[in-house]
Structure 1
Amino acid sequence: MAGRPLSPIPASTPPELRALVQRLRDAKDASGKTFEALAKDGKVSESVVRRALAGKAVPPLETVKAITRACGRKEDGMAQAWYAAKAEEVLPGARKLGPKMVTSPREFVESMIFMRIEGGYPPLQQLEKVAGGAPDGRTRLPHSTLHLVLHGQIPPAEELFTAFMEALPVPAAGRRHWLDAHRRLFADAPARRAWGEPPPVVRDEPAAFTSCEGADGALARMDRDEEIKRKTGQLKEPDDYERLGLGYLNSPAPEFQWWDEAEIAAWEAEAAAQQRALKHVDLREELLAYNDRSDPA
């Protein structure tokens, strides 16, 4: 397995990932080491090294750093190439902005994702563990809530955003500016409820959607469709006879079907045969026999 050469980088590989993989391959070639030696010096498996150099997906940052160290190169330049490749994968076409340049909640969430990329793109469960717990015993950075925030489904609370920055290598000097941007964009965002506090009751919220409302909507759509068909001539208005169930009086009489001589002769022959097969029995005798059978002995 150690001597098997790498395949060319796939043509479908994005540009930034292609640049990263090519730099890793160049570093390996310059070091003169085999895959087995790189895996041993980088303290990773040989299959991990091969996957990182295949160019099919962005490898983890720790894998890139391990291969770079094993090749005797500096990690900084390779890490920058990894940041660009990961941003291309997670946020294609997005532009990294500073806290004063962010003008919308969408750009703010994208900035949070850039922070995660600069931190090595750790799993959300790992961020939750690093953030720790609050004095009241709650988790400061629930991974499920953070998942909703990073997908733009709910706004980030200030407490959660603070824990998010502290769990990542965001410089302390920049956190204040990011908090100012958060307060500017999410001033109306609800604060996180205290432990055990019930959710607030909103009096002016719309009523819940019920099955009856769904049925009413379906009936309204049916009426609208019938009105359109009626105006376009696709639907005929029922007259009084049809409302009374007497629509057949206005319906045209069916055409009389003329039968040919062969069909009439065949029917007459069939009827004559059936008449000959019938057994002539006196009905009076049949009734008397039935009464005799039904009388008790």
Structure 2
Amino acid sequence: MAGRPLSPIPVSTPPLLRALVQRLRDAKEASGKTFEVLAKDSGISVDVVRRALAGEAVPTLRTVKAITGACGGKEDDMARSWSAAKAEEVLPGARDLGPLMVSSRAELVESMIFMRIGGGYPPLHQLEKDAGSDENGRTRLPHSTLHLVLQGQIPPTEKLFIVFMEVLPVPDTKRRNWLDAHRRLFADAPARRAWGQPPPVVRDEPPALTSCEAAERALPRLERDEEIKWKTGQLKEPDDCELLGLDYLNSPAPDFLWPEYDEEELAAWEAEAAAQPSAKEHLDLREKLRAMIDRTEPA
């Protein structure tokens, strides 16, 4: 498997990456080394060597230099080809402008990315580690903040920009010019909050109304709704029965049908009522019963 020849470079490979991969392949062929020998001499694995020569993605600068050195080529010359291919991948169509030619904030951020490419495009965590901490133990180049800066979401502070150039590193002869360009473009940028200070509370909704303001707005609306109900007949003046709670008297009588009785039934009921004892007889019976309970004679 290790001796399997490489496939042709894909047609979709960008031009500068294609040129870099072709130069690496030519260097390998000129050295006459197999993939195993080349991997051993360069200190990287066979799979890494094959991926670097496949042309599907830009390899790391360390891999390119290792392969070039193992093949006996010039590392600096190959590093320039790698920088061009990496810039084509990260910033397609952008130009690496000098500090005197940068005229916008976006171009300065692009220049920071070119600085990162010139330093081998190290990971942001590695840049944070290389920057170290200040006298208070705080990291000088937080990777999360640097990520937002390189994405163009927040402006780079002067302090962060200086540390960024020191870590990569940018030559001292260019740092002053780059710092002047930063001050020229970000002079009116809003200052970021100090360390430990909570972020400001931003509310999109309007401020809350006081009770008086809310009442002044609600009363006209209630009056307008009540006027509409008066005009449509939903409201009316109450009468005396409604005020006294006797509105049930005005309710219509239920449809009640009295039963019909014949004369014989009415006569029988009257005779039965006449045969019932009078109220006085009922009273006498009650008095006798009470006397029996009290064991006394009735008066």
TM category, shorter:
0.5 to 0.7
Instruction: Give 1:12-161 correspondences, 5 Å limit.
Output: 12-161=12-161
Q: Distance in 1 between matches of 2:134 and 2:37?
A: 46
Give the structure 1 partner of residue 266 of structure 2: none
Q: Distance in 2 between matches of 1:160 and 1:17?
A: 32
- Larger Cα Rg: Structure 1 or Structure 2? 2
Q: String of CA shifts for 1:11-30, please: whole Å, max 9, x gaps.
A: 00000000000000000000
Residue aligned with 2:83, SS: helix
Give the structure 1 partner of residue 175 of structure 2: 175
The one-letter code of the counterpart of 1:30 is A
Q: Distance in 2 between matches of 1:87 and 1:179?
A: 23
Q: Distance in 1 between matches of 2:207 and 2:51?
A: 56
Q: Distance in 2 between matches of 1:47 and 1:196?
A: 46
Give the structure 1 partner of residue 277 of structure 2: none
Identity of aligned residues (%): 76
Residue aligned with 2:9, SS: coil
The one-letter code of the counterpart of 1:209 is D
Structure 2 unmatched runs, 5+: 209-231, 233-299
4+ residue segments displaced more than 3 Å: 190-199, 210-213
How far is the alpha carbon of 1:173 from its aligned partner?
1.3
Identify if the C-alpha distance between structure 1 residues 140 and 121 changes in structure 2 by more than 3 Å, giving closer, same or farther.
same
How far is the alpha carbon of 1:137 from its aligned partner?
2.0
Q: String of CA shifts for 1:148-175, please: whole Å, max 9, x gaps.
A: 0000000000000111001102001111
Whether the aligned pair in 2 keeps the contact of 1:7 and 1:54 (CA below 8 Å) is: yes
How far is the alpha carbon of 1:106 from its aligned partner?
0.3
Residue aligned with 1:76, SS: helix
Give the structure 2 partner of residue 250 of structure 1: none
Q: Distance in 1 between matches of 2:116 and 2:163?
A: 13
What is the total number of aligned residue pairs between the two structures?
A: 211
Q: Distance in 2 between matches of 1:210 and 1:154?
A: 24
Across the aligned residues of Structure 1 and Structure 2, the Cα RMSD in angstroms comes to 2.3
TM score, norm. by length of structure 1: 0.67
Residue 199 of structure 2 corresponds to residue 209 of structure 1: no
Identify if the C-alpha distance between structure 1 residues 192 and 139 changes in structure 2 by more than 3 Å, giving closer, same or farther.
farther
The one-letter code of the counterpart of 2:89 is E
TM score, norm. by length of structure 2: 0.67
The one-letter code of the counterpart of 1:83 is S
Give the structure 1 partner of residue 245 of structure 2: none
